[in-house]
Amino acid sequence: MHSSRRSRPPRRPAKDFSALAVRLAEKSLRGSPLSRAEARRVLACTAQEMPALLSAVFRVRRAFFGRKVKLHFLANIQSGVCPEDCAYCSQSRVSKAPVERYRLLPPRQILGAAENAVRWKASRLCLVASGRQFSQTDAVSLAGAIRTIKRRHPRLEICCSLGFLPEPQARLLRDAGVEAYNHNLNTSERFYRSICSTHGYAERLETIARARAAGFHVCSGAVFGMGETPDDVVRVAFHLRKLGVESIPVNFLIPVPGTPLEGRESLTPLLCLKILCLFRLVCPRSALRIAGGRELHLRSLQPLALFAANAMFVGDYLTTGGAAAQRDIEMIQDMGFEILGGAPPEGKACVAGRVKVISSRKAFRWAGPSSAGAAS
């Protein structure tokens, strides 16, 4: 007799990676977690298996983010003044890298950064300050600048990354209109003590919890290429899933001369791509951003990263230059993806010149049509 409940065929082990990749995408779409063995298999897949992986990952990306790419604009509002010793960071107290050192930029320069973000059609302005923790006086000044930005550009999202976050500052920034707070896990709990001795993983988790309690969207990601094992990559991906962070920046170490990790070369373009694919499968609903080091490490594979990631920075990073933004816009469009909010108008923000973000105290000025080089 015919039964209304159709019995499922028994699940057979995947004979090849293509079948496994399809199963992983289906798991991810259903919201089921990958097993650790599956996650490690993603990181171990070969160049020949990449088309199957990318196809699977793109299904997940398309389901939650379509073909949109969200642009972020980064502003380094306080540079090179940090007492911490994060080994990957050119602004740490142990770094000998010749980065600029300045305290909190005056409000007019922060407003200038916002104007440039809007010109670039960035959806989000990321205000990043070096340091363990912001002072209350600086937080009040920053909150004032943010209120002005939100009055002028109410649709521009603002994310702050100011280190550890005391509750009064969290409230102040939230009231000023800040939507998101960034505090990266950076790596696995196991490996964390190898890259930083001045604070611990637990403190980072506390800040993330405080940001969430204050009502921020949480942005938290990692840096790869610091000597971590594949298991560390899997652990940090699973931890970010568990935390349910809304946004994940994936950084690839730029081994800046003068930092303890100077000269560290452990990444390949293919590995970077696999890491992004893994994060997409493990955290399907989180916005995934290709962040620092993408030009250096993904190299010619950068366009393929868009099959996994749905966001990227335009302009420059904290102390190192990014690719020419016009090339980034072209890459997105050439791949058939769409910039969230529309592309920057040609000849204005995009073709005609570059925004100088970090190279001097005169930062955040429009650098004009002849300035095609990246800021240092």
Binding residues vs ligand SF4 (CB under 6 A): 82, 84, 86, 89, 91-92, 130, 132, 163
Of the pair 205, 331, the CB lying nearest ligand SF4 is at 205
Respond yes or no: is residue 196 known to be catalytic: no
For the stretch 208-214, contacts whose Cβ atoms lie closer than 8 Å and that sit 24 or more positions apart, written own/partner, are: 208/183, 208/243, 208/245, 210/165, 210/166, 210/167, 210/170, 211/165, 211/170, 211/181, 211/183, 213/170, 214/165, 214/167, 214/170, 214/171, 214/173, 214/174, 214/181
Going by the DSSP 8-state scheme, the letter that residue 132 receives in this structure is S
Distance CA 311, CA 294 (A): 12
In 3D, which of 59, 50, 63 has the Cα closest to residue 22? 59
Respond yes or no: is residue 350 known to be catalytic: no
Catalytic residue among 82, 272, 277, 283: 82
Catalytic residue among 289, 294, 350, 354: 289
Residue 319: CB minimum distance to ligand SF4, A: 10
Distance CA 66, CA 162 (A): 31
Residue 102: CB minimum distance to ligand SF4, A: 13
Catalytic residue among 41, 59, 61, 89: 89
Of the pair 69, 82, the CB lying nearest ligand SF4 is at 82
Distance CA 58, CA 55 (A): 5
Respond yes or no: is residue 126 known to be catalytic: yes
Residue 22: CB minimum distance to ligand SF4, A: 39
Residue 206: CB minimum distance to ligand SF4, A: 14
Respond yes or no: is residue 119 known to be catalytic: no
Of the pair 251, 310, the CB lying nearest ligand SF4 is at 251
Catalytic residue among 45, 124, 159, 241: 159
Whether 139 and 172 have beta carbons less than 8 Å apart is answered as yes
Of the pair 192, 279, the CB lying nearest ligand SF4 is at 192
Residues designated catalytic: 82, 86, 89, 126, 159, 219, 289
